[in-house]
Amino acid sequence: MEHPENNEQYKGLTVNSGVAQPPVVNPYMRPRRRQALPSAAELVEGIIKGDMVSLSKAVTLVESLAPAHQQLAREVIEKCLPHSGKSRRIGITGVPGAGKSTSIDVFGMHVLKQGGKLAVLAIDPSSERSKGSILGDKTRMEKLSQQPGAFIRPSPSAGSLGGVARKTRETIVLCEAAGYDNIFVETVGVGQSETAVHSMVDFFLLIQIAGAGDELQGIKRGIMEM
């Protein structure tokens, strides 16, 4: 079949040249290869030495839903268990906007001045629509986030009920193995019956907003009696 460009019946047709290849935006860009997962032994060795990078990687693996990550996370947790259980665990909860993060910033600085190490596990609510989380509680801990003896890890609730994340217990074990002798667990903003963090900690602190409710509200059971 003759090409329309050369056919007398299609004299009005023209064939435009294709789009030219755009120039390279960054000529120095090199493809980045994904780093291989560290072994369980490497992670545990770094955690016990107090390396924040190893601890952060281990927490990420614990929170991951990928089967390969879950298997590696279980090995790390099992090897860290003998080095855990020596910290003071403090759970801090309250309604949204009560001042949990701001209070932790003040309490944490007091702990560090006494010579201890502090890990803060801040749980942030996840969106029911996008499933994402802002993870912004750390921004309210302006002084504490600048201290070398503090490890602040925001984590999404990811649909978990009770005010904590799905793997908060495992993250506590990792922080204890890393040598943090004080661990604050900050829950999402809670209501009257979200008390899951109470069974994870040694001390439970409820922060309320002044003037919220009457005398009857003050004698209600649930989180108030924890």
Contacts of 128 (CB under 8 A, 6+ apart): none
31-59, pLDDT tens digit by residue?
777 778 899 999 999 999 999 999 999 99
- Region class of 70: left (phi > 0), else alpha (psi between -120 and 50), else beta: alpha
Asked whether the predicted pLDDT for residue 196 surpasses 90, the reply is: no
Residue 127 domain-assigned (yes or no): yes
Residue 27 domain-assigned (yes or no): no
pLDDT of 59: 96
Which of 20-29, 144-153, 208-217: highest mean pLDDT? 144-153
Share above pLDDT 70 across residues of the chain, in percent, rounded to a whole number: 88
- Region class of 69: left (phi > 0), else alpha (psi between -120 and 50), else beta: alpha
Residue 201 domain-assigned (yes or no): yes
Contacts of 190 (CB under 8 A, 6+ apart): 93, 94, 95, 163, 223
Residue 91 domain-assigned (yes or no): yes
CA–CA gap between residue 125 and residue 161 (Å, rounded): 10
pLDDT of 1: 59
Residue 3 domain-assigned (yes or no): no
Beta strand 150-156 with 203-207 is unpaired
What's the whole-number mean pLDDT along residues 14-25?
A: 73
Where b means 16+ CB within 10 Å and e means fewer, 30-69 reads eeeeeeeebebeebbebbbeeeeebbebbbebbbeeeeee
136-172, pLDDT tens digit by residue?
888 889 999 999 999 999 999 888 878 888 899 999 9
pLDDT of 136: 83
> Whole domain around residue 92: which residue ranges?
85-207
CA–CA gap between residue 40 and residue 196 (Å, rounded): 29
Mean pLDDT, the chain, whole residue set:
87
DSSP strands (E only) in 14-87: none
Q: Which of 7-11, 126-130, 205-209, 217-221 has the lowest mean pLDDT?
A: 7-11
Residue 142 domain-assigned (yes or no): yes
What's the whole-number mean pLDDT along residues 4-23?
A: 68
In the chain, how many domains are there?
1
Residue 75 domain-assigned (yes or no): no
CATH of residue 92's domain is 3.40.50.300
Residue 204, phi then psi, degrees to nearest 5: -120, 120
Residue 32 domain-assigned (yes or no): no
Q: Which residue has the tokens 């952060």?
A: 56
**Which DSSP symbol is given to 72?**
H
pLDDT of 6: 66
